Amino acid sequence: MAGLTARETGQVRRRRVFYIPGFDPLQTRRYRQFYRSEGPAQAAISGYVLEVGAKRGDAAHGWSVTAQIDGEGVEAEVEVLAWADIISGSMRRTILATYGQMLRTAWIYVASGALFRLGRLRKGPTLAALYPVVMLSLQAGVAGLSGWGLGLGLAAAVPGWAGVMLGLGAGLVLAVAVLRLFQRADRRFLAYYLMHDYAFSAGHWGAYPPEMEARMAVFGARIRAALDSGADEVLVVGHSSGAILGVSILSDLIRAGVPAQGPVLSFLTLGQVVPMVSFLPEARRLRGDLAYLSAREEVTWVDVTAPGDGCAFALCDPVAVTGVAPAGKRWPLVISAAFSQTFSPERWRQMRFRWFRLHFQYMCAFDRPGDYDYFRITAGPLTLGARYRGRSPSKSRIERALSGHRSVA
């Protein structure tokens, strides 16, 4: 109806979308390509029209979308809030430094008790966290045995101390060479990548690093400016560890004050790994933000995960399991993307063991989509709140408080 706002009707004609990636050094390329290829694919399956174009305005990274969905035309501007430079900087470590990082990170999770509590919550992401430790240890074992074997062979072939010294030197050179080969082949193993990911999260025992706090302030300013842009909805999407950043960014934004008559503010978290950080002792800022955001009426927060995603804390209410749910808790609405149902049986058989790919499926097309459709949410005619109004949370969600650290900033 003419004169009514999106807050009153739930209808969207113009939308600003801010996408916060997880720990991914390929942040801008990967997600733009996902949208350009998967969006039209989903549109063809679901019977609507979606076109992806060049970015508009002053966004550093992004694209535009025009869509015709359910008989309604919608324009959206998507901006990627990239922090790949911070990620790349944290990954520039020598092999020896990475192994030191592994020992320190393992100690943080064990000494804080977080590892054992995370294991009681969901086995999949906990095993995923242990994977780089096991894989890097195996790689070190292979390198050590290779060097030891060569050293013994040379020591036996060359008599006296000369053989011993030659064996030690050659064995060490071979061991280092094997480790470097493993490091160069990490696109296959992902051990170094995942180790850097978990080490970054745990580096300050759960507190945000100073450089991340500074970047989050920049992101918050971008979102705040969009609230004055005339859009009908400002939608913030946080994927994986990007969901953690989104919680604190939006909490800061709302504390500072948002326009009462501005666009609808919505928050969509996908494949979240919040407990990996919120269960650590120094994550007081995050825990306080979780409690605060969960009770705010200025925002609609929907959390989407799937049990088929072994890298996410599927159907775990991040506020409740952290043990900081306030009396007036409203959010998040926890729902499942239900991969086993939204894929055809044939495609599910092909995908179910592609663990890393499934962690990104939330931004991709489903051949049997249910009420979760990333492209309808980001380019469709309904606000996030209107789309899920009356939707019950997943019956299999986990709300039991398991964190041993619940102090808040």
Which among 15, 31, 5 is positioned nearest to 360, based on CA atoms? 31
Q: Is 294 within 8 Å of 333 (Cβ atoms)?
A: no
Which pLDDT score is estimated for 2? 53
Q: What is the pLDDT of residue 155?
A: 86
Contact between 8 and 14 under an 8 Å Cβ cutoff? The reply is no
* The predicted structure's pLDDT at residue 24: 87
Can you give the pLDDT at residue 178? 96
Provide the pLDDT for residue 193.
93
Q: Are strands 264-270 and 62-69 parallel, antiparallel or unpaired?
A: unpaired
Q: What tens digit of pLDDT does each residue of 146-172 get?
A: 999 998 998 888 888 888 899 899 999
Residue ranges per structural domain of the chain: 12-85+210-387, 95-201
The count of other CB atoms within 10 Å of the CB of residue 198 is 26
pLDDT of residue 163: 82
Can you give the pLDDT of all 409 residues of the chain as single tens digits?
456 787 888 899 999 999 999 998 876 778 888 899 999 999 999 999 999 999 888 888 999 999 999 999 999 999 999 999 999 988 888 999 999 999 999 999 999 999 999 999 998 888 888 999 999 999 999 999 999 999 899 888 888 888 889 989 999 999 999 999 999 999 899 999 999 999 998 989 999 999 999 999 999 999 999 999 889 999 999 999 999 999 999 999 999 999 988 899 999 999 999 999 999 999 999 999 999 999 999 999 999 999 999 999 999 999 999 999 999 999 999 999 999 999 999 999 999 888 889 999 999 999 999 899 999 999 999 999 999 999 999 999 999 999 999 999 8
User: Which helix (H) or strand (E) element contains residue 206?
Assistant: none
Question: What percent of the chain is modeled with pLDDT above 70?
Answer: 99
| The domain over range 12-85+210-387 is classified in CATH as 1.10.8 | no
Residue pair 233/258 in contact (Cβ under 8 Å)? The answer is: no
Q: How many CA atoms lie within 13 A of 237 on its CB side?
A: 25
E-strand stretches of 175-274: 233-239, 264-270
pTM, two decimals, is: 0.94
Give the Cα separation of 150 and 6 in Å (integer): 71
Sequence-ordered strand ranges (E) for 85-134:
none
